[in-house]
Structure 1
Amino acid sequence: MSQGEAGMNIRTLDHEDPEGLVKGLFGCIDGRDWAGLSEFLHDEAIYERPGYEPFVGKPAILDFYLTKRIISLGQHRVERVLSDGANIACWGSFSGVAKNGRDLSMRFADVYRIREGRIDLRRTFFDSPAI
């Protein structure tokens, strides 16, 4: 079994540890570990977030992080994770810096659907204009 950069056993990315999955995902995003992030995503994953058309498929999601995301660096702080098995919800705060140097600070909520042990749908919501 392979190990991901986030230190999770990739074959156990499922509803058994929803908090670990969410924190591992954000660990990859905040650490700019795009190979690690890829391991959390189902090949047919969809990512919906304010200000963008949905990103459909793992390559489109990774391209967003590599080329379109306005954030230069930042950190997610997860406050709570809830799960019913195949669906996960979490919320928390984000602080960081945009590529133009502007400080960013906001609250967020994410909803995930899990398929075959991977995220196949992610919806992000912000408490302020889209970043």
Structure 2
Amino acid sequence: MSTTHPEQLAVSGTDFVTRLFEVIDGRRWDELPTLFAEDCTYHRPGYEAISGLDAVLRFYREERIISDGRHEIEHVAESDSSVACWGRFRGVGKDGRQLDERFSDLYFLDGRKIRTRRTYFYRPAI
């Protein structure tokens, strides 16, 4: 893992991703504004681009098909203003279906917040 410049990411990429998924897996939606920029964009398979913090919050609170689960991070890579991670998600959908998906994420950061997030699944999935 490369070292970032202090003016870019104040914590390591691993710490950043760990905190992000603690917030998401804990369904602590009120903490998302500490991680996403006001003018962020989230690209996720199966959805139109989710633009703006309000839309990201709405996605997590109302639209996301997951009712419970946990992200297991296998690896994190980082550069000056971006972080990538990959791993596995295991959980339960709102319809009761068991979910078990491999994923990768790219984060383009503006300081300590996500400006753009791109999620990829290994097949058409959740």
TM surpasses 0.5: yes
Structure 1 position 29, deviation (Å):
0.4
| Separation of aligned partners in 1, 2:52 and 2:79 | 24
After superposition, the C-alpha distances for 1:16-67 in whole angstroms (9 at most, x for unaligned) are 4111111100100000001112210111110000000010011000100011
Instruction: Determine the structure 1 residue equivalent to 2:30.
Output: 35
- The percentage of counterpart residues that share the same residue type is 43
Structure 1 position 71, deviation (Å):
0.3
| Separation of aligned partners in 1, 2:47 and 2:9 | 27
Q: Which of residues 102, 108, 112 is equivalent to 1:107?
A: 102
Structure 1 position 128, deviation (Å):
2.3
Return the letter of the residue paired with 1:99. Answer: K
Structure 1 position 85, deviation (Å):
1.5
* Alignment pair present for 1:63 and 2:63: no
Note the aligned Cα RMSD (angstroms).
1.5
* Alignment pair present for 1:77 and 2:109: no
| Separation of aligned partners in 1, 2:121 and 2:10 | 24
* Alignment pair present for 1:89 and 2:81: no
User: Which of the pair has the greater relative contact order for Cα pairs under 8 Å at 6+ separation?
Assistant: 2
Structure 1 position 13, deviation (Å):
8.5
TM-score, length-scaled by structure 1: 0.87
Structure 1 position 15, deviation (Å):
5.3
Instruction: Determine the structure 1 residue equivalent to 2:4.
Output: none
**5+ residue gaps, structure 2:** 1-6
SS in 1 for 2:9: coil
Return the letter of the residue paired with 2:95. Answer: N
**5+ residue gaps, structure 1:** 1-11
TM-score, length-scaled by structure 2: 0.90
